[in-house]
Amino acid sequence: MHLSASARRLAISIVLVAALPAAWAAPAAVLPGDDFFDYVNGEWLNSVEIPADRSSWGVGAALVEDTNLRIVKLIEGLAAAPSSAEAKKIADYYASFMDEAGIEAKGLAPLQPALAQIAAIGDKRALTKALGASLQADVDPLNATNFFTENLFGLWIAQGLKDSAHYTPYLLQGGLGMPDRAYYLDDTPSMKELRGKYLAHIAATFRLAGIADAEARAARVFELETKIAATHANREDSADVLKANNNWSAADFARKAPGMDWAAFFASAGLGGQKKFIVWHPTAIAGAARLVNSVPLETWKDFLTFHSINQVSAALPKALVDQHFDFYGRALNGTPQQSLRWKRSLAAVNAAMPDALGKIYVAKYFPPESKQRLQQMVSNIVDAFHLRIDKLDWMAPATKKEAHAKLKTLYVGIGYPEKWASYEQLQVVPDDALGNLLRAERLHTQQQLAKLHQPVDRAEWCMPAQLVNAVNMPMQNAINFPAAILQPPYFDPSAGDAVNYGGIGATIGHEISHSFDDQGAQFDSKGRLRDWWTAADGKHFKQASAALAAQYSAYKPFPDLAINGQQTLSENLADLAGLSASYDAYHATLANKRVTPEADQQFFIGYAASWREKERDEALRRAILTDGHAPDKWRTATVRNLDAWYNAFNVQPGQTLYLAPKDRVRVW
């Protein structure tokens, strides 16, 4: 339950707000009550082109770009004079990916050991071991809401849903090269076209890797993935923790998911001694085991071969990099141009050694004064939540008590983690990009597996400090605000409260309210999945949530594609409650001052400006199908549920966004 899928959420700036009065003075093309997003952002939307190497662009993306430029400068400094062994590893890792000529000269040689291992698989038992060895800690269904892995299964190590005092391995569905089952099964022209392009991409990958019978192999891989997709849960069900809490013992797998040698699988995955698991997607896990049994060995070997190349193409010669971009960038996201080499290399270091980069980033760019001011804002917004809970007329006293307890025990991490991950065990070789990538992935998975034997750390972070994003982790009852989101134009230490509460304040409110959205409210103050609501409370909450889901399902970004109000419900609830709480906290800071209508306008305009973003149609379609967040334009529209917005902009019946007071959704 995080702020955005791709650091898209951002950002109010002092610059934007300074520019606003002029925009107000001119007759706006659109009335605020008809399209608030366009009213605030129309000029920007008309004047800005999405850069060719992007599937979307907005103030947030610009901030990501600036942050990346800063970090690359820091890396270049480390390369010249490494300050520690870890700093040298950062510089070497980056250099290995920047060494395009070296990668080209080696050709496919670095891939050969992995391909030879797959070729040597002689029976289903050996296949099962190879599938086990491919398991990586590469998904996170609850905090980062990342459900995607090309490996047959995804692994997540986290607290148990009902036992927040111990770490448990979670198994998730996987094995698809396209983002979701809908891409394989939906009967729409755009999906059919993508299927053709994906099939061609698989064949081209085989050809470029010098593997014979590329077309026939591609057809087999595609057919197998289609069968896997048919067993997958859809995106909406994936987000339902009540459907995910399936506790299986190691012995249960043979009975509940027959068809593969699970003991061999777990031994090979480093989970040999593990007794208890949580199976997030039981139907897909059982389906995959059935397919391991029924689909011919050669098809599975083709599947492993393709994905072992496809997943590491960033570290391979240009022809494979370009082919990968042609499908994943161009076809899937509508991005015309690949990003520059340095950006891709930086992304590789960010993925491999996130905390090492975070450490050097905050030392230079996150001053202690920012941390202090943000702590004060967090405390004010938490107070606003306490007051809102007290004022709820529908909530039973016992439920209120636990809600207060949950707020009181909330861990709020600001800027950076208290403990940094260690890369002491990571071997980095300056001229071995692929080896570095594989070793970093392996180390990450080993470190995650090691947690199974350690006490739970509620203060552990799940986002790097240099990421422009924020996250709520319900089982830890914790929130992280990475340093990179806590900077201008998003949070501006020199700006006034209207600006900062409309910007970062709404984000803080958003993350806090995830503790009380349809998912978060299922976890108690100790982080346990437990129903702590009375039946009447639950009924009111469900009714209010259903109204918000219906409000969002009625939005149609494309004539043939509506937003899924259920899939985006948690985020929409967090937006609504977060904006309301931040509004209250802002007004509390004005306690003895005269409140001007302009102040409220600034607050709401700041909010809408913080969502300004343009997306290519392909990326927008993908997001609507797979993202837990509604597109930014429609997230902005939640202002129509706040009475104060109507007063600030004189919104009248008959205007598109107008809701009669009884139809405005009020949850918290």
- The binding site for Zn ion (CB under 5 A) comprises 571, 574
| Half-sphere exposure for 577 (CA within 13 Å, toward CB) | 31
Minimal distance, residue 484 CB to Zn ion, in Å: 17
- Which residue lies nearer to Zn ion by CB, 492 or 511? 511
Strands 153-159 and 167-173: antiparallel
169 forms bridges with which residues in the sheet? 157
Minimal distance, residue 513 CB to Zn ion, in Å: 9
Query: Which residue's entry shows tokens 């070793």?
Result: 439
Minimal distance, residue 17 CB to Zn ion, in Å: 24
- Which residue lies nearer to Zn ion by CB, 98 or 473? 473
Closest CA to 301 of 111, 115, 108: 115
- Which residue lies nearer to Zn ion by CB, 412 or 648? 412
- Which residue lies nearer to Zn ion by CB, 331 or 576? 576
Q: At residue 157, what are phi and psi to the nearest 5 degrees? A: -110, 120
| Half-sphere exposure for 105 (CA within 13 Å, toward CB) | 7
- Which residue lies nearer to Zn ion by CB, 5 or 428? 5
305 within 8 A of 274, measured Cβ to Cβ: no
With residue 156 as reference, give the H or E element that holds it. Answer: strand 153-159
* Angstrom distance (rounded) from CA 652 to CA 93: 58
For residue 294, the Cα-to-chain-centroid distance in whole angstroms is 34
- Which residue lies nearer to Zn ion by CB, 445 or 545? 545
344 within 8 A of 68, measured Cβ to Cβ: no
Minimal distance, residue 651 CB to Zn ion, in Å: 26
Minimal distance, residue 444 CB to Zn ion, in Å: 24
- Which residue lies nearer to Zn ion by CB, 139 or 194? 139
- Which residue lies nearer to Zn ion by CB, 3 or 221? 3
Minimal distance, residue 506 CB to Zn ion, in Å: 11
Burial code of 230-253, b = ≥16 C-beta within 10 A, e = fewer? ebbbebeebbebeebebebebeeb
Query: Which residue's entry shows tokens 């997306």?
Result: 615
Minimal distance, residue 479 CB to Zn ion, in Å: 10
Closest CA to 351 of 314, 305, 308, 318: 314
68 within 8 A of 75, measured Cβ to Cβ: no
* Angstrom distance (rounded) from CA 19 to CA 266: 59
Minimal distance, residue 485 CB to Zn ion, in Å: 13
